Amino acid sequence: VFSKIFSHEALESYLPKIQLVIKDTLRAWSSNPESINVYHEAQKLTFRMAIRVLLGFRIPDEELGRLFEVYQQFVENVFSLPVDLPFSGYRRGIRARETLQKGLEKAIQEKLQNTQGKDYADALDILIESGKEHGKELTMQELKDGTLELIFAAYATTASASTSLIMQLLKHPRVLEKLREELRSKGILHNGCICEGSLRLDNISSLHYLDCVIKEVLRLFTPISGGYRTVLQTFELDGFQIPKGWSVMYSIRDTHDTAPVFKDVDVFDPDRFEQGRSEDKDGRFHYLPFGGGVRTCLGKHLAKLFLKALAIELASTSRFELATRTFPKITLVPVVHPVDGLKVKFFGLDSNQNEILAGTDAMLGATV
């Protein structure tokens, strides 16, 4: 059922809504006279994307802001010790979940009652219809649990990768310029503006350098460190017997760091994934930011589409600079993110600045 939520047809219908959420967010960032905490704002962005796009909820902005604060409290206490005492993290997490589910139940009921004006089937619509197709009417509790799971899946890891993307574009302006050149050569970017109707799923899929940039962000800054699997059949690895039924953990980060196929593993180099090099081509599990095998992440195509849409908007309609003297250190828990959240100042683009960007594209076309 969940696989339908991330099908090609579903992603095509989500794309215009994703673009709108990203555009509105970047406009708000640019109108802020102060620098922003990118990681915190990226969390708000991915939460808003899940609520507005995946679930199709029409929650007012003020109420959405309150729901986000409650959701953050829930997430912060997910991994707390299961000790149910007053003022414990566990108790705070349980209370936050109860508050969340009340808000979600209200939004679900309003959605079920108001089906007019819909121009696409969102993830919750697909979930409900798939239940009916299988002869099972989903209960309100099942809908709330499914809704919360979708938000959780779309939230932390995508916010982490979005922050890493912005930081690498700041660190490597030539990468940003090369992205603009590709957008211009494909007829997507003209005179510093995105051509109307040019961003479709097939067009985005044809942007090979953009794909390399996103792949390299996810290689070097994989949001989570690894995953767990259960051993289905006893096997031997390097002289050690691993019994059936045991749990094993594989490390995504160590795989990306130690796989002999990656040259200069600590260097941000999108060109390593160009067709001429394709450093990951010879190994099925040399590159696995979304896991691998039959249990690979179901939402990986949505995550990559979101990151590509964000990169396109950043390259086309935004000007931004680091607001601190040095780049922050990176911490790996609970997901990869800058220690101080990455302070960045965004600027709005007027027509003159658009012309400057267009001129930069033209010069780049003659020099790359």
pLDDT digits (tens, 9 = 90+) for 339-355: 999 999 999 765 445 54
Tokens 């989570």, located at residue: 224
> Which residues make up each annotated binding site?
297
* pLDDT at residue 130 greater than cutoff 80: yes
Predicted confidence (pLDDT) at residue 196 exceeds the cutoff of 90: no
Binding residue positions for heme? 297
Q: Residue 361 above 60 pLDDT?
A: no
Between vectors from CA 320 to CA 315 and to CA 322, what angle results, nearest 5°? 130
Q: Is 239 exposed, middle or buried (0-12, 13-18, 19+ CB in 10 A)?
A: exposed
User: If we measure between CA atoms, which residue out of 210, 146, 133 comes closest to residue 179?
Assistant: 210
pLDDT score, position 20: 95
Handedness of CA 200, 202, 207, 212 (dihedral sign): positive
Using alpha carbons, select from 113, 189, 108 the residue that is nearest to residue 357. 189
Please count the other Cβ atoms lying within 10 Å of the Cβ belonging to residue 169.
19
At 134, is the pLDDT very low, low, confident or very high (cuts 50, 70, 90)? Answer: confident
Nearest-5° Cα angle at 306, 5 to 251: 85
Average pLDDT over residues 65-92: 93
Single pTM value for the model: 0.92
Give the pLDDT band of residue 118 (cuts 50, 70, 90).
confident
Query: For residue range 9-68, what is the model confidence (pLDDT) as tens digits?
Result: 999 999 999 999 999 999 999 999 999 999 999 999 999 999 999 999 989 999 999 999
Mean pLDDT of 75-88: 91
> Residue 173: which pLDDT band, with cuts at 50, 70 and 90?
very high
Of 331 and 119, the one with more pLDDT: 331
Residue 120 has pLDDT above 50, yes or no: yes
Residue 368 has pLDDT above 70, yes or no: no
For 266-323, what is each residue's pLDDT tens digit?
Answer: 999 999 999 888 888 877 888 999 998 888 998 999 999 999 999 999 999 899 999 9
Domains annotated for the chain, with CATH where assigned, are 2-346 (1.10.630.10)
Distance between CA atoms of residues 228 and 133, nearest Å: 32
- The pLDDT score that the predictor gives to residue 350 is 57
